Chain A
Amino acid sequence: MSLEGAIAVHRFGLGARPGEIAAASQGPKAWLLAQIEAPAEQPTPVVAASSLQSGSALVVDILAFRDKEKALNQARKAGMPMEEEGKALYKSRYDMVVNEMAARFALGFKTTRPFAERLVWFWTNHFGVSTANPRCGTFVGAFEREVIRPNIGGTFETMVQAAVRHPAMQLYLDNVDSIGPNSQAGLRSKKGLNENLGRELMELFTLGVDGGYTQTDVIAMAKLLTGFGLDNNTSGPMSADGYRYYPQRHEPGEIVLRGKSYPSGEAGTRAAITDLAHDKATAHHIAVKFATAFLADAPSPATVKRLEEVFNQSGGDLKALAAALLEDPHAFAPKLTKVRSPVELVTATYRLLDLPKDNGKPEAVVNQIRGAMGVSRMLGEFPMAAPSPKGWPLESEAWSGPDAVLTRIEWARQVSQRIPPTLDVVGLAANGLGALMSEPTSTAIAHASSKSEAVALLLSSPEFQRR
């Protein structure tokens, strides 16, 4: 087992499953690259009776939900208690989100393509869609499944175009409410622009905050995005992703964005988004985030420059970008500079201990997955639930504060109390950390006062807390 193999598994993967470091050591870069040859895996529901629905099915669902909510409120106004009905209605929404997230966690625990999964997590977080906005709560899982997973090896342009159209994004950043003031619908309703998506598209998803745009450009981008909405044509054939363009809401006339004129209409908007996706500022912004997420809180300017060049030269090819990351001189440096985020830590722990244990009781497996979800939340991070569109922080310091560290090692101790008494802890440590294991950690494990303490120390060790 080589050091590079262990680093491949920990820094670019999700932590070692049994035998994984040995497999990666055969050829660490090749092992990683083979994982991103195809679109990312799709999660499957962990509760048998549940399903993970498409964006368009979820649009149908949310329309039905709004009708039910309206009826419920009317009944309430009419003096009926409706308490149970209300609870059931909102519980059904909550269950949909929990099922999505449980499926996502479960995939992380077992996947044999952890690098692909890490890229999925990175890009999903990049686009920020979050259950913090309850409007889009039921859609966030579909966003990742439909926008991110198919495109981790495609171009950035394809991903951005899909992200902006998706109902999750339309709802999350309020574009469904944005109407061109001079459009048919605008003149009739006196409603107007909502700048939210237009601004974040440039500030967060493409150019970056210093990427060269003004408030005038934000308004222009918002105008360009008018007409993008949810496909509520439930009586006729619907689009697969639940997106529909409404020309009657679109701001008429040529629109100038950052000095370039775009024709009115959906094609003009798509052209504007394409230009943003290929902008030099976007390449820099993405390169910084990518390097920060995978390599170092403050990546070296040379690293950023290399990634930026690959992004520009390849036309935003995300597979080329991922491959370039692995070619960076710091990619396989032995020093573990990044602290695992809570979701990464919980996932690595479950992978190391080969959890959830399947003892033939499906509900027990679900409970173990739910347990991991609860712990992630307790440690401060939950997928697609960031408080702002900026997504979860990429820097280690977000997860290494005093209380966070104490909680992490307390959890390490708790989870280690569930190990089977026959567990070979020394073997577990050797297979789990490989050549990353330090002398002090190896000694501490060997001298621990019990097997469970040995596992707790392994989970608490800097090599495991970091990647």
Chain B
Amino acid sequence: MITRRNMLTMTAALSVCGGSAAFAAVPGEQRFVFVILRGALDGLAAVPPYGDADYASVRGGLAMAKTGTNPLLDLDGFFGLHPALINLKSYYDAKQLAVFHNICTPYRDRSHFDGQNVIETGGLVPNRFHDGWLNRALVAMGAKKVEALAVAQTPPLVLTGKARATSWMPDTLPEPDEAYFARVQALYAGDKELGPSLTSALMLRAQSKAAMDDPASKQKVKVDLVPLFAGAGRLLAGQGPRVAVLEASGWDTHINEGAGEGQLARRLSALDAGIDAMKQALGPAWSKTAVVIATEFGRTVKPNGSGGTDHGTGGAAFLLGGAVAGGQVHAEWMGLKPEALQDGRDLPPRSDMRALFKSVLAEHMGLSRAALNTSVFPDSGGAKAFKGLIA
């Protein structure tokens, strides 16, 4: 019989508020956390190349500056961090955050499903593998056999496969996701009953939210990822799981993305708060931890007609944690002129996301290059490796 207690020590998952987490146990003290941002994070918003001469003009209303209201946080005089990423900036200063730009999986089309399939299965093309690369890595690490849990929610694809890792979900409704509501609202545009009902319910919701918000704190942090990340941190801090996968949605900013403040700023702020809550919960284990934050692809360089950005190619990724050799931006920057862009519109993919995953698995979790090149990421031999990512 599986009890709640051994579920948490063997393998577990948490899911609250637009995200979820799954865990697996492996030998050793090193912790590895993979955070998938589903929906395609705008890399140019998260890590603005403010030193690029063309940046301000091509980004238009989405551009941020080092001065003025909501100034971006400088990293190296050329790249900055979005103003919402306050904690990430402090890790960078403490050399515990490495930033990657112009990075992408081998996927070159623009479907979320296929893009997420590639970032999770680790193949060259969608559906090349039916299991996840992290699961294959667990097998290669000699992960202990994990008991299956008889609960309904399923682990993400990246953790699916031979090594068992299951997940659990509390019986509460998830934190509402504005983008999702907006999409349903669009679907209800022609429905005379459902449409007005939903509009009126969302208006009421917004009013009651506005009434609860403290007017003095304009930059109120949306903290909905904190319980998820803190819970993961607590579980990782103990003698149980060493590997966790967390998912956060809400990055598909086609409409009113915002710059220093707005929709994406709130989401980044939630992520930033979540990561720091995990750091606090990890306590001393933070020093043994490496966290990779990645997304299926980037977004268009230019804003679209509705104040947002559309699906793109190259984007940003993050590696952070007490075990990380940080304090630098890894980017083969090609500029923002049209001829430098992928298909004339997207950031060019200059490094392979799999190289980042492989380097962390090798340097931090001790996987052999042979295992990485054969069983974990077959077909990845050509991906240029990163070196010295782990302290």
Contacts and interface: CB of A to CB of B under 8 A. Distances in A.
B113 A425 contact: yes
Nearest to A424: B113
Contact of A462 (B15, B111, B187): B187
B39 interface: yes
B194 interface: yes
A418 B154 contact: yes
Nearest to A462: B191
Contact of A450 (B38, B154, B202): B38
Interface string B241-259: 0000000011110000000
B171 interface: yes
Interface centre among A401, A406, A441 (most CB of B within 10 A): A406
Interface residues of A, number: 51
B88 to A, nearest CB: 22
A368 B156 CA distance: 20
Contact of B252 (A418, A441, A449, A461): A449
A450 B152 contact: no
A364 interface: yes
Given A418-B152, A440-B187, A449-B38, A413 B113 contact: no
B177 interface: yes
Which of A374, A422, A450, A451 is most buried by chain B, counting CB atoms within 10 A of its CB? Answer: A450
Contacts of A234: none
A414 B201 contact: no
A371 B152 contact: yes
Given A417-B169, A462-B188, A405 B194 contact: yes
A460 B184 contact: yes
A460 B130 CA distance: 29
B105 interface: no
A440 B184 CA distance: 10
B200 interface: yes
A402 B112 contact: no
Contacts of B359: none
B197 A401 contact: yes
Nearest to A401: B197
A405 B197 contact: yes
Interface stretch (A6-14, A136-144, A224-232, A355-363): A355-363
A449 B349 CA distance: 21
A444 B194 contact: no
B387 interface: no
A449 B169 contact: no
B157 to A, nearest CB: 3
Interface string A429-467: 000000000001100101111111110110011100110
B205 interface: yes
B391 interface: no
Interface residues of B, number: 51
Contacts of A339: 193-194
Contacts of B152: 357, 364, 367-368, 371, 418
A153 B121 CA distance: 53
B198 interface: yes
A403 interface: yes
Contacts of A446: 111
A441 B181 CA distance: 14
A462 B193 CA distance: 10
Contacts of A368: 152
B153 A417 contact: yes
B187 A403 contact: no
B154 to A, nearest CB: 5
Interface in A391-411: 396-397, 400-407, 409-411
A420 interface: yes
A421 interface: yes
A419 interface: yes
B187 A421 contact: no
A440 B190 CA distance: 10
B150 interface: yes
B186 A440 contact: yes
A19 B186 CA distance: 29
A186 B57 CA distance: 95
A450 B180 contact: no
Contact of A402 (B20, B151, B201, B249): B201
B116 A400 contact: no
B383 interface: no
Contact of B169 (A397, A418, A420): A418
B179 A449 contact: yes
B174 interface: yes
Given A405-B201, A418-B153, A422-B157, A410 B194 contact: no
A407 B148 CA distance: 31
Contacts of B382: none
B219 to A, nearest CB: 25
Contacts of A363: 150
A421 B249 contact: no
User: Ordered nearest first, which 3 A-B pairs have the shortest CB separation?
Assistant: A449-B39, A421-B157, A449-B252
8 contacts: A364-B152, A422-B130, A440-B187, A449-B249, A450-B38, A453-B39, A454-B113, A460-B187
Interface of A: 339, 357, 359, 361, 363-364, 367-368, 371, 374, 396-397, 400-407, 409-411, 413-414, 417-422, 425, 440-441, 444, 446-454, 456-457, 460-462, 465-466
Given A419-B154, A422-B130, 8 more contacts: A339-B194, A361-B150, A405-B197, A414-B173, A418-B153, A449-B251, A452-B249, A457-B187
Interface of B: 15, 20, 38-40, 111-113, 116, 120, 130, 148, 150-157, 160, 169, 171, 173-174, 176-177, 179-181, 183-184, 186-191, 193-194, 197-198, 200-202, 204-205, 249-252
